[in-house]
C-alpha cells in the first residue's frame, strides 16, 4: 500500500468517523456532573441490601459478579498462555546464574538496598493483605491487593537477589494458587445452586455494615480473586525473569559447538 | 481542587506525550511508569480510589517491570556467532 493511498484512507475514515465521534462527545454529561442514575441507584440500595460500604466491590462481586468471573478466567487464560509460551522453550529446570551483558560492570548490591527491601517487603505484603481483606469496606479488593502482594515478592528479588527469590517462591504453589483461586470463584457461583438459589446468589449471612465481615459470599469470592491474582502475577514475573537466566544447555546443542 | 485538576490534566498530557517522544526503549519504560503514576494521582483526585489502586499497581509497577525484563532479555542474548 503506497503512502498516498494510506493518507487517502485515513482522510476517508476521518471524514466518516469524526462527525460520529463529535456527536457522541457533545452528548456526554459535562465534566464534574452529578453521579449518573445507575450510580445513585447503587448508592441507595447496596448498604441495606448487601451491608457493603464499598460499592465498587458490591458491583464487582455481587451485582455484576458474572462479569468478574469472566475476567477471572480471562486472566487465567492470559497467564496460562504466557507460561506455555515461555516455559515451553526453556523447560522446567532452574538455572543459577544470570546472563551478563558483555562489557558491563557487575555492581554488588549495597547494604542500604538490602535493608530497605527487608523493611519495605513485609510492610508491602501487609498492606496488600489489608487491601484484600477490607475489600467490602474500603477501596481496593482482591485484584488490587493481589497485585500489591505480587509486587511485594519482587522486593525479595531486589533485596536478596535471584537465588533468594527462587528459594522463597515455588512455581507449583503459584500454579495451585492461581487455578485454586479461579476454582474457588467458580464454586462460589455454583455452591448456592445446591441450596436451590440462583447462580452466585448471596446466600451467606451478610454481616454488619462497615465491618470487616460484611458482604457474605463476596468475601469468599474476593479471597478467590486475591489468590488467583497473587499467584498469576507472581508466576508472570517469574516466567519473565527466567528469560534473563543463562540456560544450562543451549537450545540446540548442535549449533553451539563451533 | 480547582487548581489541582487542571494541573493533573497538564501533567497527564505532558507525561503521555513524553512516552511517545522518548525514543530510547529503557527511558520509554520509565516514561510509562511516570505516566501511570500521574494517572493514578489523577484518578484519586477524581474520586476513583479503586481504579487508582489498580492503575498504580499495574500501570506504574507491573507493566514497566515486565517491559524492563523483556528488554534485558533481548539485550543479553549472545550475538549470533559468525562462521
pLDDT surpasses 80 at B78: no
pLDDT tens for A112-130 read 999 999 999 999 999 999 9
Tally of domains in chain B: 1
Predicted pLDDT at B1 = 61
Answer whether residue B81 is part of any domain. no
When pLDDT is averaged across residues A23-36 and rounded to a whole number, the result is 84
Predicted pLDDT at A255 = 42
A220 Cβ contact partners less than 8 Å away, ≥ 6 residues apart: A184, A188, A204
Interface test with B, best of A57, A151, A153, A156 (most B CBs within 10 A): A151
Q: Which residue has the cell 494521582?
A: B41
Predicted pLDDT at A242 = 82
Q: Does A237 contact B54 at a Cβ distance shorter than 8 Å?
A: no
Chain A partners within 8 Å of B49 (Cβ): 139-140
Comparison of pLDDT for B34 and B83, the residue scoring more: B34
Answer whether residue B15 is part of any domain. yes
- For chains A and B, what is the number of CB pairs under 8 angstroms? 55
Predicted pLDDT at A81 = 92
- Chain A touched by B26 (CB under 8 Å): no
pLDDT tens for A186-196 read 999 999 999 98
Q: Does A244 contact B69 at a Cβ distance shorter than 8 Å?
A: yes
Predicted pLDDT at A256 = 41
Answer whether residue B83 is part of any domain. no
pLDDT tens for B40-57 read 999 999 888 999 999 999
pTM of structure: 0.83
In chain B, residues 30-59 whose CB comes closer than 8 Å to chain A = 49-50, 52-54, 57-58
Q: Does B69 contact A100 at a Cβ distance shorter than 8 Å?
A: no
Domain with B19 in it: 4-76
The DSSP bridge partners found for residue A234 are: none
When pLDDT is averaged across residues A143-157 and rounded to a whole number, the result is 91
Predicted pLDDT at A101 = 67
The DSSP bridge partners found for residue A245 are: A98
- Chain B touched by A148 (CB under 8 Å): yes
Q: Does A147 contact B58 at a Cβ distance shorter than 8 Å?
A: yes
Answer whether residue B10 is part of any domain. yes
Predicted pLDDT at A1 = 75
Whether the CB-CB separation of A170 and A254 falls below 8 Å is answered with: no
Answer whether residue B34 is part of any domain. yes
Q: If pLDDT is split at 50, 70 and 90, which confidence band does A253 have?
A: very low
Cα→Cα distances A139→A19, A66, A71, B42, Å: 38, 20, 19, 16
Q: Does B50 contact A144 at a Cβ distance shorter than 8 Å?
A: yes
Predicted pLDDT at A231 = 94
When pLDDT is averaged across residues A171-185 and rounded to a whole number, the result is 92
Name the grid cell of B70. 523483556
Whether the CB-CB separation of A114 and A160 falls below 8 Å is answered with: yes
| d(CA B4, nearest CA chain A) in Å | 14
Whether the CB-CB separation of B12 and B40 falls below 8 Å is answered with: no
Chain A partners within 8 Å of B55 (Cβ): none
Q: If pLDDT is split at 50, 70 and 90, which confidence band does A99 have?
A: low
Answer whether residue B61 is part of any domain. yes
Predicted pLDDT at A34 = 75
Amino acid at each position: 500500500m503506497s503512502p498516498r493511498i494510506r493518507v487517502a484512507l485515513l482522510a476517508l475514515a476521518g471524514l466518516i468517523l469524526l462527525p460520529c465521534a463529535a456527536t457522541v462527545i457533545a452528548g456526554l454529561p459535562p465534566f464534574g456532573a452529578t453521579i449518573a442514575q445507575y450510580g445513585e441507584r447503587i448508592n441507595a440500595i447496596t448498604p441495606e441490601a448487601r451491608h457493603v460500604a464499598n460499592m465498587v466491590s458490591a458491583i464487582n462481586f455481587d451485582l455484576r459478579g458474572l462479569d468478574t468471573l469472566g475476567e477471572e478466567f480471562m486472566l487465567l487464560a492470559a497467564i496460562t498462555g504466557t507460561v506455555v509460551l515461555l516455559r515451553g522453550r526453556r523447560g522446567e529446570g532452574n538455572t543459577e546464574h544470570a546472563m551478563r551483558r558483555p562489557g558491563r560492570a557487575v555492581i554488588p548490591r549495597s547494604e542500604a538496598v538490602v535493608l530497605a527491601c527487608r523493611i519495605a517487603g513485609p510492610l508491602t505484603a501487609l498492606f496488600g493483605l489489608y487491601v484484600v481483606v477490607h475489600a467490602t469496606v474500603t477501596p481496593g479488593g482482591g485484584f488490587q491487593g493481589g497485585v500489591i502482594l505480587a509486587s511485594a515478592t519482587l522486593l525479595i528479588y531486589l533485596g536478596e537477589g535471584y537465588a533468594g527469590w527462587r528459594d522463597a517462591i515455588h512455581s507449583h504453589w503459584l500454579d495451585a494458587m492461581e487455578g485454586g483461586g479461579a476454582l474457588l470463584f467458580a464454586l462460589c457461583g455454583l455452591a448456592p445452586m445446591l441450596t436451590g438459589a440462583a447462580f452466585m446468589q448471596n446466600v451467606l449471612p451478610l454481616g454488619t455494615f462497615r465491618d470487616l465481615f460484611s458482604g457474605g459470599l463476596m468475601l469468599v469470592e474476593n479471597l478467590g480473586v486475591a489468590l488467583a491474582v497473587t499467584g498469576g502475577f507472581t508466576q508472570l514475573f517469574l516466567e519473565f525473569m527466567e528469560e534473563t537466566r543463562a540456560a544450562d544447555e543451549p537450545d540446540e546443542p548442535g549449533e553451539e559447538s563451533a | 481542587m480547582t487548581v489541582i485538576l487542571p494541573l493533573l490534566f497538564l501533567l497527564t498530557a505532558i507525561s503521555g506525550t513524553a512516552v511517545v517522544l522518548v525514543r530510547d526503549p529503557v527511558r520509554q519504560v520509565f516514561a510509562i511508569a511516570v505516566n501511570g503514576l500521574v494517572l493514578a494521582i489523577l484518578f484519586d483526585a477524581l474520586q476513583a480510589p479503586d481504579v487508582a489502586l489498580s492503575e498504580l499497581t499495574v500501570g506504574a509497577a507491573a507493566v514497566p517491570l515486565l517491559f524492563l525484563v523483556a528488554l534485558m532479555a533481548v539485550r543479553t542474548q549472545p550475538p549470533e556467532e559468525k562462521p
